[in-house]
Structure 1
Amino acid sequence: MKKIRITALVIIMLAIGNLKANNLDRSNPSRNLSVQIQEMLKGNLLRVNGEELIGKVRFTINKQSEIVVLSVDTNSELLEDFVKHRLNYQKVELNSSVKGKIYQVPVRVLAQ
């Protein structure tokens, strides 16, 4: 009987320890960042005959929580200028743990 109680107590303690070890904050900072970038790129006035402009943007977040565009990999100079103008040094809301990390995000703009 005593062994059953000790075993049950050990199982309960392991379960509680496992729950505490898991980070219960399930928010994804990268997802939050992509939503913020999407909002910044909305409302474009690009005119390229209905053509779709695509590229990959590499950027980091500085100490002031601002986006710093490192490069835009695209064939369109218009898209590159547009993304740099809209994103460079724009403030974002993130956890301090992700500052300095280099991100790469695909960008697709439907020009009108």
Structure 2
Amino acid sequence: MKKLIVLFFALVLGSGQGFASNNNPIEMDEHLRNEVAHLLKNPKIKVEKEELTADIQFTLNQKGEIVVLIVDSEKDLVIDYIKSRLNYKKVTIEKVKNVNRIYNLTLIIKRPKNV
């Protein structure tokens, strides 16, 4: 009987966790990613290798602006490009709920095929 009560209690707690989850932040992150991709569109950077990569860490302030924290890349030109295109640019998210959350994004710039 004790095992049955413990099993029932575990099922009740487990089902409560499933109803408590919220899917909206995933959609907001995808929307934010698309906004950042739009801001970084069409770089005028000469790519010598097959591709250049940059790891970007940023956050959103209360005004809905992107604040670039860290950009890690081999080339300083890529770092300057990302900072100039993203830093303090406003994004169109209705309600910024995740203020001071750190977002990580990897940017890959590929060499054009005709070069």
Instruction: Work out whether the TM-score is over 0.5.
Output: yes
Residue correspondence of structure 1 range 1-112 to structure 2 within 5 A: 23=22, 25=24, 28-49=27-48, 51-94=50-93, 95-112=95-112
Aligned length: 96
Structure 2 CA distance for partners of 1:109 and 1:24, relative to 1, 3 Å: closer
Task: Using the TM superposition, name which of 56-65 and 93-102 deviates more.
Answer: 93-102
1:46 match: secondary structure: coil
Structure 2 CA distance for partners of 1:104 and 1:79, relative to 1, 3 Å: same
- Is contact 2:47–2:110 with CA below 8 Å preserved after alignment? no
CA RMSD of aligned residues (A): 2.4
Query: CA offset at residue 59 of structure 1?
Result: 0.5
Structure 1 match to 2:5: none
Q: Runs in 1 of length 4+ with deviation above 4 angstroms? A: 20-27
Query: CA offset at residue 96 of structure 1?
Result: 2.1
Higher alpha-carbon Rg: 1
- Greater relative contact order (Cα < 8 A, sep 6+): 1
Q: Which runs of 5+ in 2 are unaligned?
A: 1-15
Among all aligned residue pairs of Structure 1 and Structure 2, give the percentage whose two residues are the same amino acid.
32
TM-score (norm 1): 0.71
